[in-house]
């Protein structure tokens, strides 16, 4: 709504100018009345009314900013408009209004973010549940479920509310909620979280929490809460506001005092109009955002570039972010000298080839096709494992208690499948998340780019998380975290290590992406709640784009700072010339246009390629 209001201001100013030109030159408008030496023809009245309304609107914004402790350069714009009204220089006034409202519109284009952060999250919220009443299925709204109701969760369905299994055993994919890369087997008596996805077997669940209190809905609430309390951030132009305003007012005041003519003050104020200062940063930011797009990174707001350029702490989710959310074989450990590693993997993959379980499919995918043999007498025991005959041997693959009772004391901390052959324990195969090949290099480059702290925030188990973190080169590991705990970890980052940037991809990452100073989503696989809640979205499946985002941001802000300082320097020089009285207000406004063109040209340099050092390709 605020962005739309600013756009309408710009449109109104342009219309007022067009009407004024027609009135003055085409219709030869006469003065309606005069005050002293000042004449007020139709075009002057139109533009003065718009100028007064714009000045009042700006004053209200300035007053609001002052109450929140923010001081901007807008006060100079108000003074410039009022000054041109008082000396009767209508077209100088109009040009100031054009640049003032045009700069705001450009800034909104560069920094405006569509208000759709919750759309994907809300679209995925379970709405319908299969309620069991006297053994019959009745479809009801999720919000109508009561604690104690029994619900049927069919294969592939999302759990509608939090509950407890009362009948059936199945595996549930909780990766988008907890970050666990492997589906978790749930038995009668186990708790289910809303938002998790059922595997291959239907189960009956007793509702333990109403929809509004369930896990998935609490994530939605966390996103809303984080969005309602955004981090405070000061725009670049405002950092120079007070010194620039003071210098300009001093020059204008001295010019008035020395000349004894208030017109001289107005002439200085016209060239002191902060239009170049207001345009410098937005033009550079637009260029930087364009450069980001060329590198397959979508940035939703201009301030995101400012924060990324100064970021000191980077946090990463594990599953799907540092890793590919794909299991690969880690170790093949044999317990029987009759089998070598290759043969053990061959037997296990042969039995698993018809299973749809993620571990089974990962094992089969990691095994050479020539080593996968036909299987007969295949039998699957739900949530336990599979067994069948391969090359005359009876092979069982699955949980340890299923394949080799009595070996339960075997301590394997990784994700593993156990194998027995002809009733004898033969060994086990461990699997791990497949690390993105670019992850270690990304972490290394971030340190070269100035990162002071890099941490992993994941809901996965400690041993798994620490193993992945070590491989990626991360020492600060926080594991087994719920979404609210991720947010707290971000809030706990000390002030001297901010801004904080977090990168993630799952539903459980949405609140922390919103709560961080900058949230980056891995959005290559489609628009998820994570990408909708983030400040930036990487559109390709490449985490090294985080390095590109940082490099482009640093380059953009370097250009923007040079642009702003150049604009200030040139404007102050013109103010000193106006001090002598040789620049009438109208020509002062024209000079403002020249400065604006210089500012825009410099800002466009942000589209050039950042240096290798900014990309983190050079040793410090």
363 within 8 A of 332, measured Cβ to Cβ: no
Q: pLDDT-derived band of residue 420, with 50, 70 and 90 as boundaries? A: very high
Tokens found for residue 471: 């491989």
Quickly list DSSP for 120-174. HHHHTS--EEEEEETTEEEEEEGGG--TT-EEEE-TTPBP-S-EEEEE--EEEE-
Q: Is the pLDDT of residue 298 over 50?
A: yes
Q: 576-615: per-residue pLDDT in tens?
A: 888 887 877 667 666 766 777 777 777 777 777 787 676 6
Taking each continuous run of H as one helix and of E as one strand, the counts in the chain are 22, 24
- Burial, 426: exposed, middle or buried (Cβ in 10 Å; 0-12, 13-18, 19+)? buried
Please state the rounded mean pLDDT for residues 148-159: 92
Closest CA to 573 of 276, 317, 285, 304: 276
Per the model's pLDDT, the better-predicted residue between 67 and 106 turns out to be 67
Backbone angles phi, psi at 547, to 5 degrees: -60, -45
Tokens found for residue 392: 């005359």
Per the model's pLDDT, the better-predicted residue between 101 and 386 turns out to be 386
317 is catalytic: yes
- Burial, 577: exposed, middle or buried (Cβ in 10 Å; 0-12, 13-18, 19+)? middle
What share of the chain has pLDDT > 70, as a percent?
Answer: 79
Selecting among 317, 335, 509, 517, the annotated active-site residue is 317
Q: State residue 418's pLDDT score.
A: 93
CA angle at residue 37 from 36 to 42, to 5 degrees? 95
Which region holds residue 385: left if phi is over 0, alpha if psi is between -120 and 50, else beta? left
Q: State residue 88's pLDDT score.
A: 72
Give the DSSP letter of residue 382: T
Place of tokens 């719920």: 482
Please state the rounded mean pLDDT for residues 316-333: 86
In this structure, the strands spanning 128-133 and 191-192 are: unpaired
CA 247/CA 164 separation, integer angstroms:
69
Edge-to-edge order in the sheet of strand 184-186: 184-186, 170-173, 197-198
Per the model's pLDDT, the better-predicted residue between 134 and 494 turns out to be 494
Look over the chain and give the mean of its residue pLDDT values, rounded to a whole number: 80
Please state the rounded mean pLDDT for residues 514-542: 74
CA 379/CA 511 separation, integer angstroms:
43
How close are the terminal C-alpha atoms of the chain, in Å?
45
Of the ranges 2-11, 521-530, 542-551, 606-615, which is most confident? 542-551
Q: pLDDT-derived band of residue 109, with 50, 70 and 90 as boundaries? A: low
Per the model's pLDDT, the better-predicted residue between 36 and 459 turns out to be 459
Q: 174-232: per-residue pLDDT in tens?
A: 776 665 667 888 999 998 988 888 988 899 999 998 888 776 766 566 455 444 444 44
Tokens found for residue 96: 């100031």
Closest CA to 483 of 117, 91, 177, 142: 177
Q: State residue 526's pLDDT score.
A: 43
Q: State residue 525's pLDDT score.
A: 53
Long-range Cβ contact pairs of 563-566 (< 8 A, separation 24 or more): 563/280, 563/281, 563/283, 563/284, 563/599, 563/602, 563/603, 564/236, 564/237, 564/240, 564/277, 564/280, 564/281, 565/240, 566/280, 566/598, 566/599, 566/602
Q: State residue 508's pLDDT score.
A: 67
Q: Is the pLDDT of residue 111 over 50?
A: no
Q: State residue 442's pLDDT score.
A: 95
Cis peptide before 499 (omega within 30 of 0): yes
Q: pLDDT-derived band of residue 124, with 50, 70 and 90 as boundaries? A: low
Cβ neighbours of residue 590 under 8 Å, at least 6 residues apart?
95
CA 20/CA 14 separation, integer angstroms:
10
Per the model's pLDDT, the better-predicted residue between 94 and 164 turns out to be 164
- Any bridge partners for residue 456, and if so which? 316, 477
Q: State residue 276's pLDDT score.
A: 67
Q: State residue 242's pLDDT score.
A: 75
Backbone angles phi, psi at 221, to 5 degrees: -65, -40
């Amino acid at each position: 709504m605020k962005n739309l209001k600013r756009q309408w201001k710009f449109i109104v100013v342009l219309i007022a100018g067009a009407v004024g030109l027609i009135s003055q030159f085409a219709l030869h408008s006469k003065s309606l009345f005069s005050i002293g030496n000042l004449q007020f023809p139709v075009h002057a009245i139109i533009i003065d009314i718009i100028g007064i309304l714009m000045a009042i609107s700006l004053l209200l914004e300035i007053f609001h900013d002052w109450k929140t402790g923010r001081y901007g350069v807008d006060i100079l714009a108000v003074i410039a408009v009022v000054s041109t009204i008082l000396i009767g220089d209508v077209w100088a006034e109009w040009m100031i209004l054009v640049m003032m409202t045009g700069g705001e519109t450009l800034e909104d284009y560069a920094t405006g973010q569509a208000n759709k952060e919750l759309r994907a999250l809300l679209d995925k919220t379970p709405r319908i549940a299969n309620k069991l009443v006297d053994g019959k299925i009745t479809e009801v709204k999720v919000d109508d479920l009561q604690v104690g109701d029994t619900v049927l969760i069919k294969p592939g369905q999302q759990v509608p509310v939090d509950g407890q299994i009362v009948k059936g055993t199945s595996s549930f994919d909780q990766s988008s909620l907890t970050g666990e890369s492997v589906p978790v087997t749930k038995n009668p008596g186990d708790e289910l979280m809303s938002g998790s996805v059922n595997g291959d077997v239907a189960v009956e669940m007793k509702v333990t929490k109403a929809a509004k209190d369930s896990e998935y809905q609490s994530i939605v609430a966390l996103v809303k809460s984080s969005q309602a309390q955004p981090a405070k951030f000061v725009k670049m132009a405002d950092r120079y506001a007070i010194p620039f305003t003071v210098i300009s007012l001093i020059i204008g005041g001295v010019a008035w005092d020395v000349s004894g003519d208030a017109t001289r003050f107005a002439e200085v104020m016209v060239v002191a109009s902060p239009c170049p200062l207001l345009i410098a940063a937005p033009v550079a930011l637009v260029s930087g955002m364009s450069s980001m797009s060329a590198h397959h990174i979508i940035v939703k707001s201009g301030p995101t570039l400012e924060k990324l350029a100064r970021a000191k702490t980077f946090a990463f989710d594990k599953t799907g972010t540092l890793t590919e959310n794909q299991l690969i074989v880690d170790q093949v450990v044999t317990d029987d000298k009759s089998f070598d590693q290759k043969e053990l993997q061959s037997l296990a993959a042969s039995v698993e080839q018809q299973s749809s379980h993620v571990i089974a499919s990962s094992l089969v995918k990691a095994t050479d096709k020539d080593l996968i043999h036909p299987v007969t007498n295949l039998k699957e025991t739900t949530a336990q494992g599979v067994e069948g005959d391969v090359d005359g041997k009876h092979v069982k693959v699955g949980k340890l208690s299923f394949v080799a009772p009595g070996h339960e004391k075997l301590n394997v901390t990784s994700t593993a499948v156990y194998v027995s052959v002809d009733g004898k324990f033969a060994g086990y195969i461990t699997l791990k998340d497949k690390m993105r090949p670019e992850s270690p290099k990304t972490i290394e480059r971030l340190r070269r780019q100035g990162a002071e702290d890099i941490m992993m925030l994941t809901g996965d188990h400690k041993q798994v998380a620490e193993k992945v973190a070590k491989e990626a080169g991360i020492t600060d590991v926080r594991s087994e975290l719920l979404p609210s705990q991720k947010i707290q970890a971000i809030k706990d980052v000390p002030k001297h290590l901010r801004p904080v940037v977090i990168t993630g991809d799952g539903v459980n990452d949405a609140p922390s992406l919103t709560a961080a100073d900058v949230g980056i989503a891995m959005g290559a696989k489609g628009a998820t709640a994570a990408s909708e809640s983030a400040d930036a979205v990487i559109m390709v499946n490449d985490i090294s784009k985080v390095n590109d985002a940082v490099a482009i941001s640093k380059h953009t802000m370097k250009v923007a700072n040079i642009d702003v300082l150049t604009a200030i320097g040139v404007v102050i020089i013109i103010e000193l010339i106006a001090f002598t009285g040789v620049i009438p207000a109208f020509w002062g406004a024209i000079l403002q246009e020249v400065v604006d063109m210089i500012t825009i040209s410099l800002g466009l340099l942000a589209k050039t390629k950042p240096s290798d050092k900014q990309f983190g390709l050079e040793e410090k």
